[in-house]
Amino acid sequence: MRTGFQSTFQTAIAVAKMEWRLEWRQGHQLASVALFAVASVYVAFQSSDHETSTGAWTAMLWLVYLFSGFTAVGRLFDRERTATRQYLRWTVEPLGLILGKLAHAILTTTGLTALVLATFVLFLGWPSGLEQAGKPGLLVLGAWLGGLSVTTTLVFVTAVASQVQSAGAALSAVLGLPLLLPQIILVTRLTRGALLGTPWNTLGELPLFLAALSVGTSILACILFPYIWRA
């Protein structure tokens, strides 16, 4: 059992390192995601008033993050659609592969969350009244948990869609939207509550729900992916 666990863990580390090396070697991909996020925030800044309302600030934040997340994670399994899949299929343990992909995606979108939040504060500032009533710490926590939940769902969806050679991209959108809607509802409620200074006893369950969704989606991906990988 220990040998099997160690092998899976080593495979996951190797896959995550390989993904990072490829990302840095093809730096234009990371740069394109960052540029898309910053440009989207700047467009929101140009089209907004000097004082952005809490609802508009929240909506723009998660619209930018959602499309940036699709751009960053949606191509995670592109290499597995090519002839490389035949090699990986018999040489890489599928559980280690999906764990490595998850680790890489979580690190990438954690950086993306920080970039989007920092850019929003730089261009749009805090919504009016946050300095007096808001909870910036809860806002950052909610943004990270929301990004984590969206990321694990996108990894799961793209992993399943990668096995459909003809319509993988369309299948990602069809599967992803119903799964992401409940998470977007939760995270927008948490973000708006943090901006308005809603008491913790009212919002306390939302971070737990988001964390549970992230863990549940990750476990589901780890259970199902080995079966569909070698199907």
Query: Tens of pLDDT along 169-225?
Result: 566 767 777 788 888 888 888 888 887 777 777 777 888 888 888 898 888 888 888
54-73 helix and 27-47 helix, angle to the nearest 10 degrees: 160
Instruction: Please report which confidence band the pLDDT of residue 1 belongs to, taking 50, 70 and 90 as the band edges.
Output: very low
Quote the tokens at residue 189: 């409620």
Residues 6+ apart with CB under 8 A from 223: none
Tokens of 196: 């308005």
Angle in degrees, CA 111, 115, 213, rounded to 5 = 55
Residue 160 has pLDDT above 70, yes or no: yes
Average confidence (pLDDT) over 96-118: 88
Given this model, what pLDDT does residue 81 score?
A: 60
| Rounded CA separation 209/13 (Å) | 28
Q: Could you tell me the pTM of the whole model?
A: 0.83
Joined tokens for residue 24: 């840095």
Q: 58 pLDDT exceeds 80?
A: yes
* Integer Cα distance of 87 and 100 in angstroms: 17
| 3-class secondary structure, 78 | coil
Mean pLDDT over residues 8-22, rounded?
Answer: 83
Q: What confidence score (pLDDT) does residue 133 get?
A: 53
Of residues 39 and 50, more confidently modeled: 39
The answer to whether the beta carbons of residues 79 and 154 sit under 8 Å apart is no
